[in-house]
């Protein structure tokens, strides 16, 4: 499983034995009625055009609405959000009296504007870099609330959404598009702008147990993203597909058949 296959040097994976899947994790321009113009999306599409198609046997996109743009460069085999490692899953505990929310993501003008009021109130801990998986797990245990803000003001679905829900956190997020099965106000709380977020965090500060049922529902829904459930299905389908439609990548000839995994 190769994440961001567009950054791998040409030829780097040609001879790798077995099966190789490239996982596209970055947003791309959308086509048709969903189209939104933004320079950031154009840069990411330009980056994707550098991919060596013979480095991978199949490609998965985290966003089905990005698939048409990706298809112009490399065929997209499946679309699904990035699965969450089992080690991140935690039971939903009672909300602590301190309800400072956690936001993990690099700083951009859009994010800073969105979070400005909440930061001024001291309701947000923003970690923009230098967070490894073990540190992140510790932070999630210390914060029962999380926030998701888009990188730029265009519709998308961040992979951190699934991560926060798996950790049993109450999630506040900008509108998600696509939602990948999540329901706003049931699995997470939707905040259209920073003022709505600041008001919601203030209410939560006064009533820490507010929206506990949303935390429970979001944690249950996160089971559909659990890596130990998702990856075996992907692998079985991948090997079956490679058997019926072999890849041109040289190392793919050594991939096992799906029947041997049944």
What does pTM read for this prediction?
Answer: 0.92
Output the domain CATH number for residue 106. Answer: 3.40.50.2000
Is there a single domain that holds both residue 66 and residue 115?
A: no
Mean pLDDT, the chain, integer: 93
pLDDT of residue 131: 84
The per-residue pLDDT for 36 is: 84
Q: What is the pLDDT of residue 97?
A: 59
Judgement on whether residues 217 and 235 belong to the same structural domain of the protein: no
- At 260, the pLDDT band (50, 70, 90 cuts) reads low
Q: How confident is the model at residue 254 (pLDDT cuts 50, 70, 90)?
A: confident
β-pairing verdict for 58-61 and 2-3: unpaired
Q: Quote the number of domains for the chain.
A: 2
pLDDT tens digits for 3-17? Answer: 999 999 999 999 999
User: Looking at residue 147, what DSSP letter applies?
Assistant: E
Do 107 and 36 fall into the same domain? no
Kindly report, residue by residue over 68-104, the tens digit of the pLDDT. 999 999 999 999 999 999 999 999 987 765 678 999 9
Together in a domain, 66 and 98: no
pLDDT one-digit tens code per residue, 133-161: 999 999 999 999 999 999 999 999 999 99
Let me know whether 95 and 182 are in one domain.
yes
What is the mean predicted confidence (pLDDT) over 103-131? Answer: 93
Question: Residues 113, 92: one domain?
Answer: yes
Q: Can you say whether residue 135 is alpha, beta or left, with left for phi > 0 and alpha for psi between -120 and 50 degrees? A: alpha
The answer, yes or no, to whether residue 246 has pLDDT greater than 90, is yes
Tell me: the pLDDT tens digits for 171-198? 999 999 999 999 999 999 999 999 999 9
- Find the domain containing 239 and state its range: 2-81+227-261
Distance CA 117, CA 157 (A): 23
* Residue 198 shares a structural domain with residue 95: yes
Q: Are residues 119 and 212 both part of a single domain?
A: yes
Rounded Cα distance between 247 and 69, Å, is: 22
Do 152 and 181 belong together in one domain? yes
């Amino acid at each position: 499983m190769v994440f961001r296959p567009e950054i791998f040097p040409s030829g780097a994976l040609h001879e790798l034995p077995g099966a190789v899947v490239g996982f596209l994790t970055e947003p791309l321009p959308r086509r048709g009625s969903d189209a939104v113009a933004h320079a950031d999306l154009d840069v990411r599409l330009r980056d994707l055009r550098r991919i060596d198609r013979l480095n991978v046997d199949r490609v998965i996109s985290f966003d089905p609405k990005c698939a048409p743009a990706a298809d112009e460069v490399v065929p997209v085999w499946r679309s699904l959000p990035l699965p969450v490692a089992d080690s991140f899953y935690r039971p939903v505990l009672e909300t602590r009296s301190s309800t400072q929310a956690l936001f993990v993501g690099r700083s951009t003008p859009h994010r800073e504007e969105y979070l400005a009021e909440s930061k001024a109130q001291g309701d947000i801990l923003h970690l923009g870099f230098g967070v490894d998986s073990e540190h992140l797990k510790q932070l999630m245990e210390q914060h029962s609330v999380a926030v998701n803000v888009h990188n730029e003001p265009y519709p998308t679905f961040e992979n951190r959404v699934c991560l926060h829900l798996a950790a049993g956190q109450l999630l506040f997020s900008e509108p998600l598009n696509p939602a990948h099965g999540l329901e706003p106000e049931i699995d997470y709380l939707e905040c259209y702008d920073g003022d709505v977020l600041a008001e919601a965090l203030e209410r939560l500060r006064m009533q820490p147990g507010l929206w506990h049922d949303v935390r429970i529902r979001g944690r249950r829904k996160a089971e559909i993203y659990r890596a130990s459930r998702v990856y075996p299905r992907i692998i079985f389908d991948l090997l079956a597909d490679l058997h019926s439609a072999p890849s041109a990548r040289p190392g793919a000839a050594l991939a096992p058949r799906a029947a041997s995994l049944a």
